[in-house]
Structure 1
Amino acid sequence: MTAASVVVHPNADVLAQSVAARLATSIIDAQAARGEASIVLTGGRIAKAVYTALGASPIRDAIDWGRVDFWWGDERFLPSGDPERNETQARDSLLDTLPVDPARVHAMPAPDGPDGDDPEAAAARYAAELATAAGPGSRTMPHLDVVMLGIGEDAHVASVFPGHPAVYESRDVVAVRGAPKPPSTRITLTFGGINTADEVWLIAAGGGKADAVALALSGSGPTQTPAAGVAGVAHTRWLLDRSAAVALPARFRSPRR
């Protein structure tokens, strides 16, 4: 059975620092065990704070960044370099400051890429890249050490929105059209792709996320509460600040649970 835990931090700044330290440790441990690490990045304000904290931390020098694969859980289908792309945020706040191997930075395709303005073809291309990294055999996803996810106020994760077709998908990567949050066209990993990871981290800060967090942890179904539909093979971690945890039962709200 997958282990799950809830950790509540006093505020968003402490949360970001803690997640950054946890991520660095996970990469170091993966490299010690396997010689490399594979991380799925997310976007949003708290993610940017995590990346900035990791980039400024001395622990970054303990990591062999040339042996880390970076993937994304979802992406806005916008041109390369657009400031609204999750890739752009991660590059600006972390990746461009590190000695990463460019071949191991696996950005989701943009509409100015080889598939043009065709998100379905772009999603298929990303799925093929993941499958290639998985190597020969029946697996369609590579070994993923950590998938990091933000949580929307509607309880969406990645670009899997409540009631949208992606919640029913069996493919690992799909295009999203008509998303309720702009931009309306996106690419996303689905539950199937996300849930192959060793660990899934759901990271939330602020009172605006409190109801979504409480719903997901109360046993709500994944169709209307996508955050309830993700889980790591080994561990699922809810990493929250106190405001995001305010609607949880008291047993969850004690800091450092």
Structure 2
Amino acid sequence: MTNERRVLVHPNRAALAASVAARFITTTVDILHEQGEVNVVLAGGSVAMEVLEAVNASAARDTIDWDLVTFWWGDERWVPKNHPDRNELQARTALLDHISVPPENIHPFAASDEGVDLDDAVANYAALLESRSIDGTDLPRFDITLLGVGPDGHIASLFPHQPGIREHSRSVLAVRNSPKPPSERLSLSRPALNSSRCVWMVLAGPDKASALGLALAGASRDEVPVAGIKGRRYTNFFVDQEAAAEVPENLTASTF
């Protein structure tokens, strides 16, 4: 099923995080009612972590049956398990350590100090994803994928003019030449991200305006990787006013 991208503009960063958190809770409850389980893909970034913090702070947080929610990651920095830059650690601090999700429902990428090399970590995660497939593909049925977007338009660890954004067959990639430190990372591929039912991209600040404007104006995914991201049913950009500065008015919907 194809879908159109929607840009939902919020008055400020705090309102953005609260709105996405509320939508996450209601959408998760709805999907659980429909199919009995939910697979969520998380990524890093300060705004995405603020969304998870807002989910944790919400009075409606435990309307979700967390026993039925499984968490995956869109990308990870190749750093030790307890490194503060690790996306997993940030997500646990923001939300996962505060809810009743079973440990076996949390599937982080391997860390650099866990006895495997980067290629083994890629192979292991790809095998885990395939083992949870229910429809003969190499992926679980991703339902909600929550992503940040870099000022250069990168998504997960898929960067402009790097081979990762052009990958079309593998589900998991090793990144060894990231233009942002650390240079080594793991990432889901663009097809894996696009397999999600709902892709939600969260952007705040004036430094994101150019990338978002270019993506929606038809830039190539090689130039602006976020331009190549589109969910199976819904693709939403949740932004604050500053990030929306270069988006055509006909594509935006105000939330205030």
Give TM-score, length-normalised by structure 1: 0.96
- SS of residue in 2 equivalent to 1:58: coil
Report the equivalent of 1:224.
223
| Partner deviation per Cα, 1:44-72 (whole Å, 9 max, x = no partner) | 11011111111010111101111100000
- 1:34-45 alignment to 2 at 5 Å? 34-45=35-46
CA contact (8 A) 2:6 2:251 kept: no
| Partner deviation per Cα, 1:138-169 (whole Å, 9 max, x = no partner) | 31010111111111010000000001110121
Deviation at residue 114 of structure 1 after TM alignment: 4.1
Deviation at residue 26 of structure 1 after TM alignment: 1.5
Deviation at residue 42 of structure 1 after TM alignment: 1.4
CA contact (8 A) 1:82 1:88 kept: yes
Deviation at residue 6 of structure 1 after TM alignment: 1.1
Letter in 1 for 2:59: P
Query: More displaced, 205-214 or 105-114?
Result: 105-114
- 1:10-25 alignment to 2 at 5 Å? 10-25=11-26
Whether 1:9 aligns to 2:10 is yes
Deviation at residue 25 of structure 1 after TM alignment: 1.1
CA contact (8 A) 2:43 2:73 kept: yes
Q: Which runs of 5+ in 2 are unaligned?
A: none
CA contact (8 A) 1:245 1:252 kept: no
Report the equivalent of 2:65.
64
Deviation at residue 211 of structure 1 after TM alignment: 0.2
Give TM-score, length-normalised by structure 2: 0.96
Report the equivalent of 1:152.
150
Tell me, in whole angstroms, the C-alpha distance in 2 between the residues paired with 1:253 and 1:145: 24
- SS of residue in 2 equivalent to 1:144: coil
- SS of residue in 1 equivalent to 2:237: strand
- SS of residue in 2 equivalent to 1:122: helix
Tell me, in whole angstroms, the C-alpha distance in 2 between the residues paired with 1:43 and 1:65: 21
Q: CA RMSD in A?
A: 1.3
| Partner deviation per Cα, 1:108-137 (whole Å, 9 max, x = no partner) | 11112241xx212101111111110114x6
After the TM superposition, which parts of structure 1 deviate over 6 Å for at least 4 consecutive aligned residues?
A: none
Aligned length: 254
Report the equivalent of 1:189.
188
- 1:1-257 alignment to 2 at 5 Å? 1-115=2-116, 118-135=117-134, 138-169=136-167, 170-253=169-252, 255-256=254-255
CA contact (8 A) 2:7 2:253 kept: no
Letter in 2 for 1:177: R
Letter in 1 for 2:159: F
- SS of residue in 2 equivalent to 1:221: coil
Tell me, in whole angstroms, the C-alpha distance in 1 between the residues paired with 2:119 and 2:214: 31
Percent identity, aligned pairs only, is: 43
Letter in 2 for 1:154: D
CA contact (8 A) 2:6 2:252 kept: no
Q: Which runs of 5+ in 1 are unaligned?
A: none
CA contact (8 A) 1:242 1:253 kept: no
